[in-house]
Chain A
Amino acid sequence: MAEETPWQQALRYANRANPYPFYTELRKTPVARQPDGTYVVSTYREIVTLLHDPRVSSDVRKLPSRAPAPAAAEPGAEPITEAVIELEPNIITCDPPEHDHDRRMMTRHFFGPADAPHQISDLEPDIRRIVAGLLDGMRGKTRIDVVDEFAYPLPVTLICKILGVPLEDEPRFHAWIETALDALDFGPEAASEEMRSRLAGARRSVKELAQFMAGLLEQYAERPGPGMLSAMVHDGGPDGRMSKGVLASNAVLLLFAGHETTVNLIAHSVLTLLRHPEALEELRRRPELIVPAVEELLRFESSVQFWHTRSAVEDIDIAGTTIPAGSPIFLVYGSANRDPQRFENPDQLDLQRPDNQHLGFSQGIHYCFGAPLARLEVQVAVDEFVRRVENPRLVTDPPPYRHNQIFRGPRHVLVDIDGIRD
């Protein structure tokens, strides 16, 4: 058996808590061809270049078929990505002009119209209220799980409100998303017995989630309600309406991306600060540092470690190599954000890091749609956690991680506390 590449090693579950040493190896070859023909890009400069190159497609339908994974031989057990491809493309997985049109429509409903673009900032009182409620709920406890009791409930409550998804449905869609996320694997373990057995369930979950959203949209089509989904169903704006299928795909995307990545960011932020007591103390002393602090936390533990739907439409010369037309391209944001060519002492946490143009939200036309909301949520959550939680101590380090490699985050972060301040 051939020796595994640094990229394959980085993807192994055993290295989920700390993939960074493998990224360091990986960056020695900024654009590294993998045995399956994928080009993995790990350095800041090259990733930024490709993010802005119009010869790179994000459209999964243009992804050339890779060598079939062993799992694909069994009916109903094709890779989970195949199940996603069956949906209409969403704004992350299509190219202009469709992308521009769809994103523009969604922008209007998410941020508000051009002359009143403060829908997101208007949410701050809601966010503060939810965070306060979660922290109040920890009173009397000596041990908390930061993921289940803090990082998860905030974003999910908010995105349901913004979209108009009933919070009562949370247990259902949470289970579907978990099942799908746990089955997605790009590494050597994809072929394992266990991962193969997860696939069928994951495909079903993706379908059920899509059907759930389609049903909700149908409901809003008949009877308008609060939130962005209903508004989009009834949009009579200059760009016309989205087709049902495209709307459903993007609704799934908004629900999923609208909370999963934020959960991981809040959990990682608390974890990282508890690992760096001097930074925690600095933030406690100077709460106004929360804005640059969240940027640094986004750099330090990126919620989206890499992205997998891009491919070269033409031959692209970069970093002394040619990515041939048709090749899949993985851009490893998590590695770019630790690239010493771009960030001085990249493995050190510096809440006041100057010129911190991290790729935690990517760049270019697919720049994170929800970034302003995520920033606001995490700023408020971390700020209040630092201010109110007395003497927090990590129970296990590293904590157990979720399986997913792209949306990397701890499954639980157990913390012992002395109490909750007012």
Chain B
Amino acid sequence: MTLVATLAELVSDFRANGRIVIVGASLAGLRAAEALREEGFSGSLTIIGDEPYEPYDRPPLSKQVLKGWMPAEHTLLPRFREVDAQWRLGVAATGLDRVARQVRLADGDQIPYHRLLIATGTRARPWPNPAEAALEGVFALRSRDDAARLQQALATRPSRVLVIGGGFIGSEVASVCRELDIPVTLTERGPAPLVGALGGVIGEIAAQMQRDHGVDLRCGVSVSSLEGDAAGHVRRARLSDGTTIEVDVVLAALGSIRNVEWLQGSGLAAGPWGVGCDAGGRAFDINGVVTDSVYVAGDVARMPHVLYEYQFLAMEHWDNAVFGAEVAAHNMVNLEPHYRPHLLLPGFWSGQFGVNIKSVGVPPFGDEIIFTQGSVKDRSFAAAYGRRGRIVAAVTFDHGKWLEYYARLIEQSAPFPPPPPGWDRPDIMKPVPAEFPAPGVPTAIPDVVLTGHDPNERRAEFRPRGH
């Protein structure tokens, strides 16, 4: 038998009799399962999720659910086809043994696999002081249960809500509070909301938008401590500028932590930055060598992107979860030369203060910004981000239908600034610095050290900080 025929037989045998385990039962996990079946995989499929719920959609949690328009349990994701899988819901994966090819579960079960997809995503970064975080009235927002609890708290009409952090989740929740006519204070360590994602120029617009809607916005300050009453309910926050605020609901919107702890000791390139993989979703091991049996998709994946100088990007966006999962699923049941790359142009959306914010590309990759369409005053505009004379991203406020135009320009590495539109031009069309903060130093990144001398024994190894 020729090599080609042997490989083809191998693929078809795997598709019929293989055993695939997906860890993560959210958007990426579900879409990967559907894609596997769509690709003709008829072997055994197990989906493991730490939450007890079937896969649900997260974007409505910080918007429609909090507003009380829809209950949190009405967010189940639509199913595109039968997946015929064994669901292990409500039980977390706690370990991975790549030699024995087994996933260890919290209940002690060992689930064997031939190929594994890691789609464990992220979780909300909790308020760092555990005693303060445990106060009644202190929330985080990531899961369906989080949203249900916060919605209940908002429904009791608190006297004031404190949102800590002016990223998308924090800003969306502040917006919901104002819509519900609940007083809200938002603190942001940086100079304006959304600066990390969209830069200071857009951040300033977002700040003004918040103030116009009655948010008590405090930038350049952080929360030093939270204080509770005798019953253990949060009542007060002390800020770094020495002031205090009386509050009875606090949302810690501090960004996310990638769920990689269960991979400790697995020998994969997994750390606080996510799980490294190639553009086809194949995980790297700790040495940076690609594996053949472990794949990654969704928020937890971090892969090189051709449009951004092959830098490794983690794209915590909805469409990255969907399309990354489809690509990983395809590659799990194929062999070279049938691999497909995941070359998504990142994009995201947010709804806040009556404005639909959308973005395409990687705004922080740019260092200049130019308004290209519409009116900043009306908060209805498009703007493009540039770097070294080429367009790398765009953002729109209530101008989302134009994103496709900018996406095409970005894909083609078109010149920056882009040509002016034929109508509806902004008053000022001149590139200005986009004002992104310098990349912060992430906390508690372990060192990676090299060990061994003989080429066959040389290995990388994680050394947790402080050792």
Contacts and interface: CB of A to CB of B under 8 A. Distances in A.
Nearest to A53: B405
Contact of A96 (B404, B419, B424): B424
B421 interface: yes
A417 to B, nearest CB: 36
Contact of A54 (B69, B380, B398, B421): B421
Contacts of B422: 54-57, 95, 312-314
B262 to A, nearest CB: 36
B374 interface: yes
B384 to A, nearest CB: 11
Contacts of A364: 401-402, 404
B458 interface: no
A365 B401 contact: yes
B373 interface: yes
Given A49-B408, A365-B401, A97 B375 contact: yes
A172 interface: no
B423 interface: yes
Nearest to A115: B69
A57 B405 contact: no
A285 interface: no
A98 to B, nearest CB: 9
Interface of A is mostly: loop
B401 A54 contact: no
Interface in A322-372: 363-365, 367
Interface string A367-383: 10000000000000000
Contacts of B67: 115
B405 A96 contact: no
B198 to A, nearest CB: 21
Contacts of B402: 52, 54, 364-365
A57 B423 contact: yes
Interface in B374-399: 374-375, 378, 380, 398
Interface in A301-328: 312-314
B88 to A, nearest CB: 31
Contact of B424 (A48, A56, A97): A97
A115 to B, nearest CB: 5
Contacts of A313: 421-423
How extensive is the interface on chain B, given as a class?
20 to 34
B373 A54 contact: yes
Contacts of B405: 52-54
A367 B401 CA distance: 9
Contacts of A49: 408
Given A314-B419, A365-B401, A54 B424 contact: yes
A313 B419 CA distance: 12
Interface string B396-414: 0010011011001000000
B29 to A, nearest CB: 22
Contacts, number: 53
Contacts of B374: 96-97
A53 B380 CA distance: 17
Contacts of B398: 100
A48 B404 CA distance: 9
Nearest to B404: A52
Interface in A44-67: 48-49, 52-57, 59
A312 B423 CA distance: 11
A314 B67 CA distance: 45
A318 to B, nearest CB: 11
Contacts of A55: 419, 421-422
B236 to A, nearest CB: 34
A342 to B, nearest CB: 15
Interface in A96-153: 96-97, 100, 115
Nearest to B64: A115
A95 B424 contact: yes
B354 to A, nearest CB: 9
A312 B378 CA distance: 26
Interface in B412-467: 419-424
B421 to A, nearest CB: 3
A95 B423 contact: yes
A59 B372 CA distance: 20
A57 B423 CA distance: 8
Nearest to B421: A54
A379 to B, nearest CB: 18
Nearest to A94: B423
A68 B423 CA distance: 27
Interface string B353-372: 00000000000000000001
Contacts of B378: 97
Nearest to A354: B38
Given A53-B405, A54-B402, A57-B423, A100 B373 contact: no
23 contacts: A48-B404, A52-B404, A54-B372, A54-B422, A54-B423, A54-B424, A55-B421, A55-B422, A56-B422, A59-B423, A95-B424, A96-B373, A96-B424, A97-B374, A97-B378, A97-B380, A100-B380, A115-B67, A312-B422, A313-B422, A364-B404, A365-B401, A365-B402
Given A54-B421, A55-B421, A313-B422, 8 more contacts: A52-B402, A52-B404, A54-B405, A55-B422, A97-B380, A313-B423, A314-B419, A364-B401
6 smallest A-B Cβ distances: which pairs? A313-B422, A54-B421, A52-B405, A96-B424, A55-B422, A52-B404
